[in-house]
Structures are given as structure tokens and as C-alpha cells.
Chain A
């Protein structure tokens, strides 16, 4: 019962466990299957290049989410063609909920209309079950910004007819500096 000393294999192993989670985060952020795949690929390459230095010094999954978000933000600053488009609602409807009489489809439609950072925040808090602090760290914003962001989402989801008044924001036309979004 020895130990693997092949660091590349270890890194690949860790990354392999993370990939489905990164894919889900990418889908929430981009709102597009194709763009999520592209973002995932870029992030994987980026992580492979830097992971060896980070291992043992940080929580790898949080670090990977942060790297993916930074890559996405840098792309958003790239030009008009990189700006987010309306998200695909199918990405927010679980396959196992397809036959629930349309409830999950309606909910998915609502989720798809949130801004990318709002969708990604919802994913991290309610899918990954991360703390507000951890999510704030990933997005590089104060915890208060995360709470405000989530609160607006709750308000919209609770009162779908009052979207405009309660802070609903359609797919963001542009990404503010440092990718911040309330």
C-alpha cells in the first residue's frame, strides 16, 4: 500500500472529481450549453497549468470556481460578441422533473431570465450549498453583495408578476468592472 508520487495523476484525479461541478457552475454562469463547454475547457487548461502550485494551500474546489469566474469575466470584457445572451431555460430544468405538469419548466424560465451572476450565485448557494462567505470569495465581492443578490432573486421568484419593481434584471447587457453584480 504505497503512495502515488505522480503528481500529474493526482492533479488529474482531483480535477476529474471537480469537473461535473465545474460544468454545472459554467452552465449557470453562461446559460448556454455550448458556451459552458468552452468555458469548462478553458478553465480545465488554466487549472491544470496552475493547480500544482495551489494544492495544499487552498480549498481546491473554491479555487477552481474562482478561476472559472475570472475567466468568464475576462471574456465578457472582450467585446460585444462575448456578451451574455438570454439563457437557455432547459439548462435549469432537471431531467427528472420534466413530467411535473410544467411547474419546473415555469421555474426554469424564471431562473433563465436572471443575470448570469444571479444564476451562478443561486447555483453555488442552493446547489453546492456553499456559505455566503465562500460565494463572496468566489465572486470577489463583499458578503453583503451576495445577500442583496440572493434577496432580489427570492423577491422575483416569490412574486413573478412584480419582477421589474423587485430588482429583476434580464440577462445582463454588460459586466461591470471586476464582474460585480448585485
Chain B
């Protein structure tokens, strides 16, 4: 029997060990039934904790969105009243208003210029930030107006200007139609959000930014939002949608084939 501490096993179960350490623990587990039993107990508790705290967080986030939509855009006192929903809704309106011809008057604390077209996204890690940001979008919040951002040629022009990328991915073979392009900023870097809508499919968005060395496709998720991120030809991409990971991966492969890169 090998004596490994509960702390080490817990860190292994939580995925907090680096790869060499995790490989060693994994090997030991195969040969030691007692160790494997201890790990399985930790995994049971971990599963309960992940389910409970993950669900609580998701419920809180979706509740904030729901309340925000229900309370409408005219709540002048929402921000001063400390309403989370109001603030979340303001953020959403700021995002949508920037590109979708937003005309409603909303509370002064978050009032943006009607012609403003960029927003600052939360900062930390790129794919995670994108996924978190994407979680605030749903199909019914995307208004497509006759603005330039919905003009594919204008969006192609922007992509070429900013990222030396002339191609605008075409997912029509997958039942998705390009809806609009939207410029954002992330950690002072320009990011283009390309939104695609289908008849029944969930909202899909491809985020494009200037990047570095090539990185192969990597899956990720934030709540229900799945992502596939990669870097190719000095451009970073994150494809995000609330859809099965395999389907999203297939879409990413289509995009990658059109955009170039492995």
C-alpha cells in the first residue's frame, strides 16, 4: 500500500497537480486498490460540490439576466438601488446597443453613446473570458438592423484591415447564416465578434483577435457555453455556442478550413 496524503489525492482529483505529478499519481492508482478507493470517494464528494456550486452560480447568473430583461430598459433607479439585475442588463444593453441600432433610453449610470460601437470585455484569460461574455447572448437578444455590421462585405473589410483576414467564415452548409459583426475590446485589444444564426440552432459566435504562435484547437466551457479556441496565422479564434461539444468542434473545423491553419 502506498501512503499518499488526502491533500495530494484531493489536488489530483481537482486537477490541480501538474502533468508529471498527475501521471505519477495516476500510475500508482492503477496498482493500488486502496488508493483507488480513496480517490473514488473524493471524486464522489467533488462531483456533489461541482454540481451544487456550479448550479448555484449558473442559476444566479441566469436569474440576473432574466430579472434584467423582465424589468425593462427604463429603470432609472436600478443602478442606484444596487440591483444586480439592473447592472447586468445595462451591460447587455451596452453590448447590444453598440451594434444593433439600440434606441431605447436606459438608466444614466450605464448610458452609452448611441453611435458607440465597441465595448470593454472582462479581462483575464482569452477563451474563458470569451465564453463568459458569450453566455450573456441569446438568440432573442440579437437584433439585426440594416447597419453596416450586418453587411458581410463591410465585415470582411474590417477583418482585412484589422487582422489581415479577408475570409468571413461561411457556415451555410451547417444551416447557419451570418447575422452581424461587432467590434469589441479585450484587454485593450480589438476583438471581432461574428454572429451566426440558424433556424433551430443556438446562437453561434466566432471571436477573432490578433494572436501569436499557432495553437491547435482546444475545447473549453463556461457554464453551458462550449468553446473551441485556436491560433493560426497570427490570429486567435474562439468559437462559442451553447451546443454539444462535438457539433461545435465540427463547426470549428469548417471555420479553420476556410480561414487557414491547422
Contacts and interface: CB of A to CB of B under 8 A. Distances in A.
Output the residue of A108, A125, A131 with the most chain B CB within 10 A. A125
**Chain B at the A interface: SS class:** helix
B77 interface: no
Contact of B55 (A20, A94, A128): A94
A145 B121 CA distance: 32
Given A97-B55, A122-B49, A17 B122 contact: yes
Interface residues of A, number: 60
B10 A158 contact: no
Interface string B51-80: 111111101110110000000000000010
Nearest to A156: B45
Interface residues of B, number: 66
A10 B119 contact: yes
A17 B136 contact: yes
Interface string A76-102: 000000000000000111111100000
B22 to A, nearest CB: 14
B179 interface: no
Top 7 nearest A-B pairs (CB, nearest first) are A16-B91, A127-B53, A3-B118, A10-B120, A94-B55, A59-B124, A126-B49
Interface of A: 1-4, 6, 9-21, 23-24, 27-28, 37, 40-41, 44, 55-56, 59-62, 91-97, 104, 107-108, 111, 122-123, 125-129, 131-132, 147-148, 150-151, 154-155, 157-158
